[in-house]
């Protein structure tokens, strides 16, 4: 079994308002495997998940430790979908996706074909010229997803993007992520504080504790042998047993 | 949208009612008064306004200052947008500090200093108009830049956008509607200030028409020129709003 994404001893601290040094991440280490298409980092709210994802993405480079992708140092930034809707409201669906092609200096029929494919894949067909303003979170997420897939990265990071969505939308999007991960061989690393979301969508879950953040355990989701309720109960029981993560900070 | 149209319709009815009220009251009942002119005299004054008060020339003079100032200041902000919205730099700090400081200075004091330095030169209007617009745009830009959501910048950076692209395609695009939406406010402010400057300075412009009308205590001309000014401001503002909706305001489609 080969490691796909390897996060090694990530430590991050900053100087707080009072002048004291705050340790946000303390030697966080974990690695995902080739076969883990969707991995979740399950951690309490405000525990540093976003910071960790930004470090993995390459957006925050002031930290200690290293990140390897398929055994190599990450050369480019890893696409990251933030918690709040990040589709650009001044561009329509096509414009949002086309921005990536412009950056990669791709144009003509190839870009048009790729765009068509991405629009169809993310369920945005018929909405090509619609703008994200006043649209649902799910719609805006689909645009962000199409845009990040256009980058052709092997892995995409999602930061608790489903937090404010209703269950029906979440189920649709989880299925979409699963389909895309299999069809396009794209891995997703999701940060979440919602236990049901994490076990519904993930192949593997890393549990993180707060203050300072470090990985406590990883759980393989065996969906073939266990039903969703059993898995949920397993995770909930595990968190309670460990007694190191405040349950109040999770959505169950 | 429908509410807005209904409201507009009510405003028009109200305006027509006011005009009718004015015609009836000041034409037939209070025909001799010093409050508002007789409608008939206002109609007659239009001829004087064009012939003796050189309305066309003066109104063109005021309009040219106002739209030159707005267009030039907006264009300069747009031209340097990548530099202005990207991070912190000395120009941003300097202009922001000047803008903050200017916020405590009544505009008329700046005008007085310009009169002292430049005398009755026509450039006073242009210099005041341009710098007022530029500083107002800049303060708005500073204010709006600080509100840009990090999610847009993070998302763009993570898909490979460089800092120039983030500045031009993300930061500027985020603030552009707010900057453009601020133009109607600047527009009305400039109209007020430029008329005051022209009134004090003399030379050319609508302010000169008002000053002459007051000098001769010509109430019908004062009234009709005020009416024409309001109509021109209304047309200007409508045009600005149309252009804003056409080019800057995001579609809700």
pLDDT band at B100 (very low <50, low <70, confident <90, very high): confident
State whether B252 and A133 contact (CB < 8 Å).
yes
Tell me which chain A residue has its CA closest to the CA of residue B250: A90
pLDDT of residue B11: 85
C-alpha–C-alpha distance, residues B85 and B173, integer Å = 10
Q: Where are the domains of chain B?
A: 1-36, 37-248
C-alpha–C-alpha distance, residues A92 and B3, integer Å = 27
B2 touches chain A (CB under 8 A): no
Q: Which two tokens stand for residue A153?
A: 């990265």
Mean pLDDT taken over chain B: 90
Q: What is the mean pLDDT of the segment spanning B202-206?
A: 93
Q: Measured in whole angstroms, how far is the alpha carbon of residue B217 from the centre of its chain? A: 28
B157 touches chain A (CB under 8 A): yes
Q: What are phi and psi of A169, to 5 degrees?
A: -65, -45
Residues 6+ apart with CB under 8 A from B106: none
Tell me which chain A residue has its CA closest to the CA of residue B249: A90
pLDDT of residue A214: 66
State whether B154 and A59 contact (CB < 8 Å).
yes
Residue A219 falls in which region: left (phi positive, over 0), alpha (psi -120 to 50) or beta: beta
pLDDT of residue A220: 67
Q: Which two tokens stand for residue B36?
A: 């508002």
pLDDT of residue B253: 59
State whether B177 and A90 contact (CB < 8 Å).
yes
Residues B114-118: contacts with CB under 8 Å, at least 24 apart: B115/B200, B115/B201
Tell me the range of A200-214, B182-196, B235-249 where mean pLDDT is highest: B182-196
State whether B250 and A54 contact (CB < 8 Å).
no
B170 touches chain A (CB under 8 A): yes
Rounded to a whole number of angstroms, the distance from the CA of A5 to the nearest CA of chain B is 17
State whether B160 and A100 contact (CB < 8 Å).
yes
Question: What are the tens digits of pLDDT across the range B11-67?
Answer: 888 889 998 998 888 888 887 777 888 898 999 999 999 999 999 999 999 999 999
List residues of A whose CB lies inside 8 A of any B CB: 54, 57-59, 76-86, 88-92, 99-100, 103-104, 129-131, 133-134, 144, 147-148, 150-151, 157
Distances, alpha carbon B238 to alpha carbons A128, A171, A242, B181, B192, in Å: 31, 47, 66, 12, 17
C-alpha–C-alpha distance, residues A187 and A2, integer Å = 14
C-alpha–C-alpha distance, residues A78 and A57, integer Å = 4
Percent of chain B at pLDDT > 70 equals 96
Residue of higher predicted confidence among B153 and B10: B153
**B144 neighbourhood in chain A, CB within 8 Å:** none
Q: Which two tokens stand for residue B26?
A: 């000041």
pLDDT of residue B116: 92
pLDDT of residue A244: 46
Question: B37-248 maps to which CATH number?
Answer: 1.10.3720.10
pTM, rounded to two decimals: 0.83
Q: Which two tokens stand for residue A168?
A: 């029906």
pLDDT at B213 over 60: yes
pLDDT band at B99 (very low <50, low <70, confident <90, very high): confident
Which ranges of chain A have pLDDT less than 70?
1, 211-228, 230-232, 234-235, 237-252
- Specify whether the CB–CB gap between B69 and B130 falls below 8 A: yes
Q: Which residue has the tokens 């992708």?
A: A69
Residue of higher predicted confidence among B90 and B105: B105
Using DSSP's 3-state secondary structure scheme, residue A38 falls into: strand
Q: Is the ipTM of this complex over 0.95?
A: no
């Amino acid at each position: 079994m080969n490691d796909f994404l390897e996060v090694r001893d990530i430590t991050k601290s900053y100087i707080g308002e009072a002048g004291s040094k705050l340790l946000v991440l303390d030697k966080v280490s974990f690695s995902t495997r080739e076969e883990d298409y969707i991995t979740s980092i399950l951690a309490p709210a405000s525990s540093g998940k976003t910071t960790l994802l930004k470090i993995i993405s390459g957006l925050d480079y002031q930290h200690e430790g290293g990140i390897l992708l398929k055994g190599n140092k990450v050369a480019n930034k890893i696409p990251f979908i933030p918690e709040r809707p990040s589709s650009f409201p001044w561009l329509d669906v096509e414009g949002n996706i086309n921005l990536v092609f412009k950056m990669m200096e791709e144009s003509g029929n190839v870009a048009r074909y790729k765009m068509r494919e991405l629009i169809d894949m993310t369920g945005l067909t018929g909405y090509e010229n619609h703008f994200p303003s006043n649209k649902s979170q799910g719609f805006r997420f689909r645009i962000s997803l199409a845009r990040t897939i256009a980058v052709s990265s092997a892995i995409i990071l999602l930061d608790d993007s489903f937090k404010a969505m209703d269950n029906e939308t979440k189920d649709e999007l989880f299925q979409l992520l699963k389909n895309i991960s299999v069809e396009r061989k794209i891995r997703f690393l999701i940060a979440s504080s919602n236990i049901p979301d994490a076990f519904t969508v993930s192949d593997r879950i890393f549990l993180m504790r707060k203050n300072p953040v470090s990985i406590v355990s990883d759980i393989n989701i065996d969906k073939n042998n266990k039903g969703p309720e059993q898995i949920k109960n397993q995770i909930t029981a595990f968190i309670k047993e460990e007694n190191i993560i405040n349950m109040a900070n999770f959505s169950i | 949208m429908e509410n807005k149209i209904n409201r507009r319709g009510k405003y028009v009815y109200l305006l027509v009612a006011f005009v009718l009220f004015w015609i009836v009251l000041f034409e037939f009942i209070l025909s001799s008064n010093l409050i508002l002119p007789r409608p008939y005299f206002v109609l007659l004054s239009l001829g004087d306004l064009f012939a003796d008060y050189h309305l066309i020339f003066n109104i063109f003079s005021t309009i040219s200052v106002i739209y030159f100032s707005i267009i030039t200041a907006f264009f300069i902000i747009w031209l340097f947008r990548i530099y202005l919205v990207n991070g912190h730099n000395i120009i941003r700090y300097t202009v922001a500090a000047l803008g903050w400081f200017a916020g405590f200075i009544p505009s008329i004091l700046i005008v007085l200093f310009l009169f002292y330095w430049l005398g009755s030169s026509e450039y006073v209007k242009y210099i005041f108009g341009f710098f007022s617009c530029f500083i107002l745009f800049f303060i708005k830009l500073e204010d709006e830049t600080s509100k840009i959501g990090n999610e847009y910048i993070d998302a763009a950076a993570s898909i490979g956008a460089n800092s120039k692209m983030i500045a031009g395609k993300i930061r500027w695009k985020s603030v552009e509607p707010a900057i453009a939406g601020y133009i109607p406010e600047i527009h009305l402010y400039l109209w007020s200030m430029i008329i005051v400057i022209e009134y004090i300075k003399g030379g050319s412009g609508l302010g000169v028409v008002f000053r002459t009308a007051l000098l001769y205590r010509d109430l019908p001309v004062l009234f009709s020129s005020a009416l024409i000014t309001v109509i021109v401001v209304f047309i200007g503002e409508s045009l600005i709003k149309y252009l804003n909706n056409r080019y800057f305001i995001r579609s809700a489609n």
